[in-house]
Chain A
Amino acid sequence: MTLSVHWRLDPAAEPRRSEPGAWQRLPALARDRRVSTQNRFDYFLQVAQAAAQTAFDGLFVRHRIEADESRIIAAIIARAVPHIHVVPEFPASVGSAVYAAKQATTFQRAAHDRLGWAIAPDAEPAGREAQADFVSDGDLAQRLDEFLTVARGVHRERPFSFKGSYFEVENGGFDAPLNRASFPRVYLQGSGDAALALSGRHADMHLFAPASTEALAKDIARLNALADGRSVAAGLIQPLLVRDERQTAERDARDRPLAPGTLVASYDEAAEILAGFAAIGITELVLEATPTLEEAYRIGQHLLPRLRALTSAARQAA
């Protein structure tokens, strides 16, 4: 099975870069000719270009209420950057499932079916209430289930009708040419049987959090068991701190806060470990590291070629 590798953009990372309000003034002796049309999206596009040029398959865009909205960022990227898939992450509280699905058709039509949907993990209750979202903890899974049922339903069937607790449609469904676009590839996350079962019903890909090869192998088996015959691929979100040599990586790791589960390793070691994940059935990796731009180049140029060499050798051996 081919391994797809995506880069992950956190729109809130490196918050000063290309942020006009946060420009660091140059000393008076240096003439500063930056203009007001420069903005934060220049940086997002640079990251996307870096991911495309270093042969990542796609770019995930995190949902961050501190920063610009992921689907707006994704559309701007898709128009400017060729080839790569773009996967904005957003919560099921964005609003109408019909409207979200319809927006996806415009994206797909314009960008030749390069859109994915990553549904964001649920925020804490106080965070949700600040977003005008008062669905209780116990009802969130039901809302997401209905959201995806309706979004897929109006895309696939016409007429489509549905009456649930959160969404209702009567004689809905998209007509040509909108219904010719592919439905976005759906990525769900979360641990535990309830999350895996939801992925079993709705996801194309379940994204796991960092874990050991053994733990992931068990999770993948559980996912397949709960999917009940439906095929759901397994992916992994993996934060990285990789350097030419492991000692350098470990030294740099001491200087910074790391995301939980960050893989600290040399390029060669990281390639071996990631190839090991591929060997137990992980088919997509979502890699992240900061600073987002420089690390996209580093990982794209140094780690990806090593990883792809290993996985293609394994494929040929099989």
Chain B
Amino acid sequence: MSIDFYWRLPTHGCHNSIQTSGYERGDWSPLRPGNIAPGRDRDGEVDGFTYIDHLAAIAQAAEAVGFQGGLIPSFPNTDDPWVISSLLARETKSFRFMIAFQPGFGNPVHTARMAASLQRATGGRLLFNIITGGGGPAQLWWGDSFAHDDRYGRTSEFLDIFKGVWNASDFSYDGAFYQLRSGGLAPALRGEEFPEIWFSGSSDAALQTAARHADYYLSWLEPFDQLGEKFARVKERTAALGGEQKCAVRVDLVARATEEEAWADIEKGFSNVSEEARQRWGGQGSDSVGAARQAALRPADARRYDDLIVAPNLWGGFSLLRGGPALGIVGSYEQCAARLDDLIARGTDAFILAGTPHLEEAYRVGEEVLPLLGRQASALPVAAE
């Protein structure tokens, strides 16, 4: 069995280091000397580069070391994945664009035509991380007033139509959320590979929709046995519903030559987080079941970085250092590879990896960690916990 490894494009700027909280790459923090894309030239003038130039560098690094492509997340204050993918289509060669997308935001037929156009522009390098959860205040920020379970029904209908029109000239549909009479992609746009669908969402409504539509079920990292059980349950549940689900996990790594170096970076990063920032930890309100599963892992008052070590090489404070999930892997190159092997042994079929800064860490993880994979797989299924 071969495993697909993806990287991530940071769509909300990037830090110079896991130790610092400022966004020195992009324009999410005030422009200071040494900032990249945009930066200042030798005369102090704004240099004309924009954040897309840095994203191009990360995508090119990821494809150079053998990542299949990258997840391109979408939140209220990020750049947009569709536009990023279009902008970078012609300056990448093999990088596959995993667009995070909430189906409610687009007309399904128009979205299918956009997807087919991108397939044609990139030679079939498009795939989707379909997001339905979130919700709460953030959902109304986006202009979406649907209730949680309604949104899954809508996602399901959206994907029915998206698939229905893909290679058809005369497709009709009569759903609760969408109707369509005799539609289909034009002949010039037909025949492209249908984009792989990666699905997130941990609720029952999510799993039902996943069984029907998804190729991969994507989870944040959870403690390994818990995640293994979850993946087994997803595979069992979706099989019972008549689907087949591969499972994937999104995980950040701090991989260094030695374990001591890796934890030293974490310790420094943790010490740079103000007491106030730690109190704010938790973020925007959401009715996402996935977010709640992660929040439940959070030790209430961590005083030291190592209060947040939840298992060997597993640290629960990543969301203090940058946006996103709390849990991630910290260790030597060998340990990081072994932990990924552990996850494979627990049913993981694909990974979205990331590290900060995303450009340099794409090279590091690609060159130092990925080559060590599979060496200890048979010895380590239960060694970690």
Contact = CB atoms under 8 A, between A and B. Distances in A.
Nearest to A168: B145
Contacts of A126: 181-182
Interface string B183-209: 110101101000000000000000000
A244 interface: no
B241 interface: no
Nearest to A173: B141
Interface stretch (B104-112, B231-239, B318-326, B355-363): B104-112
A109 B107 contact: no
Nearest to B23: A177
Interface in B328-371: none
A228 interface: no
A133 interface: yes
Contact of B109 (A99, A131, A174): A131
Contact of A132 (B83, B118, B179, B191): B179
Contacts of A174: 76-77
A242 to B, nearest CB: 29
Contact of A97 (B141, B143, B180): B143
Contacts of A98: 105, 141-143
A129 B90 contact: no
A65 interface: yes
Contacts of A132: 107-109, 161, 173, 178-180, 183
Contact of A41 (B116, B120, B145): B120
A231 interface: no
Interface stretch (A72-80, A188-196, A209-217): A72-80
A39 B116 CA distance: 13
Interface string B95-126: 00000000011111111011011101101000
A177 B27 contact: yes
Interface string A165-190: 00111111011011010000000000
Contact of B50 (A41, A112, A131, A150): A112
A167 B107 CA distance: 13
Contacts of A171: 137, 140-141
11 contacts: A36-B123, A37-B123, A41-B121, A76-B89, A76-B121, A96-B105, A102-B76, A132-B161, A132-B179, A150-B143, A171-B137
